[in-house]
Structures are given as structure tokens and as C-alpha cells.
Amino acid sequence: AQSVTQLDSQVPVFEEAPVELRCNYSSSVSVYLFWYVQYPNQGLQLLLKYLSGSTLVKGINGFEAEFNKSQTSFHLRKPSVHISDTAEYFCAVSFPGAGNQFYFGTGTSLTVIP
Amino acid sequence: DTAVSQTPKYLVTQMGNDKSIKCEQNLGHDTMYWYKQDSKKFLKIMFSYNNKELIINETVPNRFSPKSPDKAHLNLHINSLELGDSAVYFCASSQDGRGYEQYFGPGTRLTVT
């Protein structure tokens, strides 16, 4: 069975501090990995993706994530957060060539404190 | 230009009514989806269509019926609305069925009273 676990449901962090949002997945086959951001009352926007190649992936708004196959993780990081980063963040996994279903984590609510 | 659009953005209706939500994408994608996001922000896929053909049909009451007139449109019709149908419904699209990224619409907040 495939699943995605976001270990923290809420993460408060002070402005300009670094942040890491954790994501682990379970799968016995190759995966594609994604991070999406959802601002209040908006749809989901793709932050970054890992399909293959370099395990360090850079995305929009200064975010990056590292794919760690041995630990089955894809943690999202930003060295210095802004108030505007306050949002819900979703990790998702899909499977190359195995159909088009995404499996989403339960989300992490990031609150940046002034 | 909006890549994935949905109408309406808000929908308030009474129990027992029938309503539709429309979705259009101008990305030239082959695959479209409907998701339901509950009050705890949990995202659940409902349906997936590839080039007008139903691919994924998760455990969803048969009161929900998707319709795809062409590959750029995927509408969601809901019969006999219930209180538990209140949620935000998202349409999404992707280039094909190989698991690549999905692009989401702005969502439709459905409130059933």
C-alpha cells in the first residue's frame, strides 16, 4: 500500500527563521514527489517536484526539498521565511507510468509569526 | 489567462437540491480530476478522466456524476445534496496519465444547509 505522512500538522515559526516541513512516504516502487502550497481560500499551487535526477530540488519562493530514498523522505525547507509563507503545505506522491493517481498527505499548516 | 477555472466559486444550497460545478482547462491536458477537500483540509480524489474516458472512480456516492463533454471540460453534477457534501471541490488537470504534476483550479466552496 502506498501512503504519504506529514508528521507535523501545525508548524509555527518566527519571521526570518528557517523552517523544515517533513514528509515521508511508503512505497516499494519508484515514485514521483511533489510539494504544493495552498494559500487561504485558494487552490493548490505547485511548489516543486522530484521526478528523477538530482535529489536536491529547488522550487518557487525560495523553497527546496531533498529526496532521500533510503529514508523514504522528501522534506521541504526554506532558510528564511516571510509572513507571506503562511499557508497550508501538502506533500504528494505518484507512480511513474502507473496511472495518474496522486496520494496526498494530510497537510501542514505553516504559520509565520512576526 | 486562467489555466484551470471553475464556476461557481461559492455555492450555497439546501438539502435535496441538485447542483452542478463546471471546470475548464486551457492547458491542452488530457487528464482531469475532481477532488473533495473537507473541513480538516484533507484532499480526497473523487474522479479522474483521461481524454473523456473515466479512469478513476473512487468510493463516491452515485449521487455524484462527472460529465466530460470534451477533454478540456469536466463537470460535476450532484443530486439530492446532503449536509455532508459541504466541502471545497477542486478540479485539476495533468498532461497525461503518467503521474506528472497536476494543476489545480481555485476551488468551489459548497455549503449545504
C-beta separation of A97 from A107 below 8 A: no
Search chain B and give the residue with CA nearest A98. Answer: B98
Query: Which of B2, B31, B37 would best serve as a mutation to test chain A binding (most A beta carbons within 10 A)?
Result: B37
Residues 87-106 of B with CB under 8 A from A: 90, 92, 94, 96-106
Measure A80 CA to nearest chain B CA, in Å. Answer: 26
Mean pLDDT of each 10-residue bin along chain B, 113 residues long? 90 97 94 92 89 79 91 95 96 83 95 97
CB pairs under 8 A between A and B: 62
Q: Which of A42, A45, A100 sits opposite B99 (nearest CB)?
A: A100
Give the model's pLDDT for residue A21: 98
Chain A residue numbers with beta carbons less than 8 Å from the beta carbon of B27 are none
* End-to-end alpha carbon distance in chain B: 34
CB distance from B84 to chain A under 8 Å?
no
Distance, CA of B108 to CA of B10 (rounded, Å): 5
Spatial distance between the Cα atoms of A91 and A20, rounded to a whole number of angstroms:
13
Give per-residue pLDDT as tens, A67-110.
999 999 999 999 999 999 999 999 999 887 666 678 899 999 99
Per-residue model confidence (pLDDT) at position B12: 97
Q: Tell me: the pLDDT tens digits for B81-106?
A: 999 999 999 999 998 767 788 999 99
Q: pLDDT tens digits, residue range A31-60? A: 899 999 999 989 999 999 999 899 999 999
**Phi (first) and psi of residue A14, to 5 degrees:** -80, 150
- Res A2: pLDDT: 61
